Structure formats: C-alpha cells, structure tokens
Amino acid sequence: MKLLFLACLTPRSGNYTTAARLREYIEAAGHNCCLRDVADFKTPEEVTHLILEEEFDGCLAIHLYKGGRLLLGTSAPFGVVLGGTDINEDVKHEVKREVMGKVLQKARFAVAFSSELKESAATFWPFHRNKIYVQAQGIEAKDCPSFKMSEFLQSTGLTSNHFEDLHIFLLVCGMRRVKDPLYLVKVFSEWHLEDPSVYLIIIGPEIDPAFTEEVASSVKRANGVLLASERPQGELQAAMKTSFALVNSSISEGMSAAVLEAMNLNVPVLARNIPGNASIVKHEETGLLFSSPQEFIQLSKKLMQDASLRQRLVLNAKAYVTERHSTDMERLTYQQLIHLLK
C-alpha cells in the first residue's frame, strides 16, 4: 500500500521521533509511507487533493485534532494515533471536541498509548471504544556518544571546579506552555541558595518563540536554574545518563518519551502527578510523583539522601520499560493495524 502519514514534525520533538519510528515499522512491512508535517496544510481540502493526486491507498495521523481533522474530507481509509494533548486538553474546547468525534467516527482504528488514555477518550465517545487499541510507545536501547557533563554544563554558562559533586536535575521538554517548564523554577532557586550543589537544567527545542523568551527571562533571574539549547537525541540521552535525575513538570502528557528514555537509561524520574505520567510512573516503585513544587523538593532531597531508594527505582523502572515498552511489540501492532486500511 501507498500511505500518507500526517504528524507534527517539529525537529527533535516527541511527535517527530514517534512518527519516524512508526514510519520505519510501516515500510519494514513492505508499504510505501510518505511522512508529511501537518503544518504544510491549512485545510482538509488540500490533503484530499494530495491524496487523489498521489494516489494514496490510505492514511495515518498522529493527534486526533491536529492531524485527524485534515483527513475529514477524504474517502481514503485512515487510522489515528491519539497524541495525549488532544484527549487531555483539546476536548475542553467544544468545537475541537466535535471535530475529533467526527474523526474518530470515520477512522478504521485509533491507537492510545495507555489504557488510561483510551478510557479518557471513551468517556467522550463511548460508541467508538472498540476501535481504540492500546499500544504503549516502544523504547530502544541505544549507545550514547562519549559525553562530558562538565563541557555540557560550561555551555550553559555554569563554571565550577567540582562538577562531579553537583546534583544535576534535567528537565527535557519542548518550549511550550503545556510542558510548564517554569513550574519548579522559584522553589528550585530557593533550594539552590540552601544547597549550592543542586542545579536544574531545562533543555528542549524552541517550539513557541514567545514562550521561549519568557522562559529565558525567568531563568536569568533564578539561582541554580539554567537553560540549555536543544541537542541531537544521542547527546541528549548521554546528558540524561550522567545527570542525577530526569524531571517532568508538564500540565498534560500522552506518554513522555523523555521519561521512558530515562527509565531505560537507569536514571531516576521525578514526574508531575498527572494521568499521562502516572500511567507509566508508579510512585516509589518506578519513580517519584509530585503534586506541588514543595513536594518536588521534598522528594528530591529524599532521593539524594536514600541510596537504596534510588537503586530500587532505577532497577524497577528498567524492568518495567523492558517488559512493557518493547519496540518488537509496537512494530507488530502497527503492522497488523495497517491491514485494516485495505
């Protein structure tokens, strides 16, 4: 089959890496898959014209609203992958919710990253529950390039004679409000004045330029908080591997690839207690969940003081990712679902 695949393709974003991985699965099954950025199209009519012109047999889209709405004008069969933001945030808007319902009605299948995400979608569209399949994101073990944390920290403007004595908390996210990178800045700044060994580094692509400026301005006024420019995935994972902990402070998540990567790299995770994070992070079992900035500080201190807790978290998290986030299972699921588009 010749398939059109629509997704948000901001470089080095979670959607980009997920889309690239899924395209590999589809093409490995012998299909021709054309990956296009939803930003290239303004209306469903443009996509319908492309499908007819290029004679695509079917389509796939990530995100029920951003990608799915562009397929409403086509008669070609299609499937959708729920993005998380669509179910957690976009459903709050009546017009978007109506559009997403129409997309789900027309779709041959939909994929949710977790049972929790499927159930959330089913509360809005119960008649389509049976066409929603659950498949967690797959995580591959990759060799990290040689990396020196000291050089990375110096690139952020940090100078120290004892980098090895620092506790680096790494917050990986695209610069947009839903990721809420400023959530912990104030309390972390206060903690750094109390304990100069702790640093919070915020790193990720500049998705929202205006918000990126807001983050940069806030970070400049904070103590112990640094902003780093985005890095290729290999370098980012190397930085993650040499940090003390991975932090996620998002308002909403589908399934955070950064959290899963940290778990796979034996790095402890401190994540905001939201449904998307709680679906993969079990408190004090595979990571730590916080519900306020103050609780984040409390749990971080506990993690620094309790080596046995740290060891238990990373061992359990690694076992969980190995068992539940297999790329082999993910590949098989999507290769089977694509047959529904025939």
Residue type at 288?
L
Residue 160 makes CB contacts below 8 A (sequence gap 6+) with 153, 166
What's the whole-number average pLDDT of the chain? 91
Q: What is the pTM of this model?
A: 0.83
b/e per residue 142-167 (b: at least 16 CB within 10 A)? eebeebebbebbeebebeeeebeebe
Percent of the chain with pLDDT over 70: 95
Q: Which domains does the chain have, with CATH numbers?
A: 2-138+326-341 (3.40.50.2000), 149-324 (3.40.50.2000)
- CA atoms lying within 13 Å on the CB side of residue 213: 2
Confidence band, pLDDT 50/70/90 cuts, at residue 254 = confident
Q: What is the pLDDT of residue 206?
A: 86
Q: Residue 152 region, left (φ>0) first, then alpha (ψ -120 to 50), else beta? A: alpha
Confidence band, pLDDT 50/70/90 cuts, at residue 161 = low
Structure tokens at 75: 């008669």
* Cβ pair 296, 187 in contact under 8 A: yes
Q: What separation in angstroms does the CA of 214 have from each of 73, 116, 152, 336?
A: 38, 33, 23, 44
Distance separating alpha carbons of residues 13 and 35, to the nearest angstrom: 15
Count the residues in the chain. Answer: 342
